[in-house]
Amino acid sequence: MALLNILRYPDPRLHKVAKPVTEFGDRLHTLVADMAETMYDAPGVGLAATQVDVHERIVVIDVTETKDNLLVFVNPEIVWSSPDKQVYDEGCLSVPGIYDGVERPSRVKVRAVDQFNKPFEIEADGLLAVCIQHELDHLMGKVFVEYLSPLKRNRIKTKLQKEERDMQRSSARRA
């Protein structure tokens, strides 16, 4: 297994729309394992393949405290969402250190296959429902900050770009 590089907002690759997975084999199994290791190491509760510059419809999620219930969604689609909404403070591994409220349906039903191409459906609420919607947004090229006002989004973009420049300068000095 290997840790993968997580793209940081506003990297334009985060806006690519992921394509369906068509091959289920060793490459997919290795990618899922690497994504899970990367998510747990970050640490996070969800990771979409888009965030590691793989533009295929793959998501890993584990919202448990014990980090022992990995859910793998390949080619996921939301087939139902509740009319009632909730606001949840969201964060993102691609937008480190930033949290803000996003309103989403409070319950969803998702249809997907696992990494072995076995179909399943899951109905979720609470943090799992939020996480599923957040990660599926990534597969559509959308980052949670796009739900925020343009002013907030621009402030976040500027802050993260400055942090990136500072990290690059610091690395250049050490080299």
Residue 85 in this model has a pLDDT that exceeds 80: yes
135 part of the active site: yes
Determine, yes or no, domain membership for 5.
no
Averaged confidence pLDDT in the chain: 96
* pLDDT at residue 171 in the model: 79
* pLDDT at residue 175 in the model: 67
Which of 37, 77, 103, 135 is the catalytic position? 135
* pLDDT at residue 167 in the model: 86
DSSP 73: E
Determine, yes or no, domain membership for 6.
no
| pLDDT, mean of residues 4-25 | 97
Binding site for Fe cation: what residues are annotated? 92, 134, 138
> What is the band of 172 on the pLDDT scale with cuts at 50, 70, 90?
confident
- Domain range for residue 141? 12-174
Percent of all residues in the chain with a pLDDT value above 90, rounded to a whole number: 92
pLDDT single digits (tens) 114-150: 999 999 999 999 999 999 999 999 999 999 999 999 9
Determine, yes or no, domain membership for 2.
no
* pLDDT at residue 128 in the model: 98
What does DSSP say about strands 119-125 and 107-113: parallel, antiparallel, or unpaired?
antiparallel
| pLDDT, mean of residues 54-79 | 97
Cis peptide before 10 (omega within 30 of 0): yes
Determine, yes or no, domain membership for 1.
no
Domain count, the chain: 1
Determine, yes or no, domain membership for 72.
yes
* pLDDT at residue 73 in the model: 98
Contact 128, 61 (CB under 8 A): yes
Residue 1 in this model has a pLDDT that exceeds 80: no
CATH code, domain with 116: 3.90.45.10
Between 170 and 4, the higher pLDDT residue: 4
Cis peptide before 20 (omega within 30 of 0): no
Determine, yes or no, domain membership for 132.
yes
DSSP 40: H
Distance CA 50, CA 56 (A): 7
> What is the band of 100 on the pLDDT scale with cuts at 50, 70, 90?
very high
Determine, yes or no, domain membership for 90.
yes
| pLDDT, mean of residues 39-52 | 97
Determine, yes or no, domain membership for 89.
yes
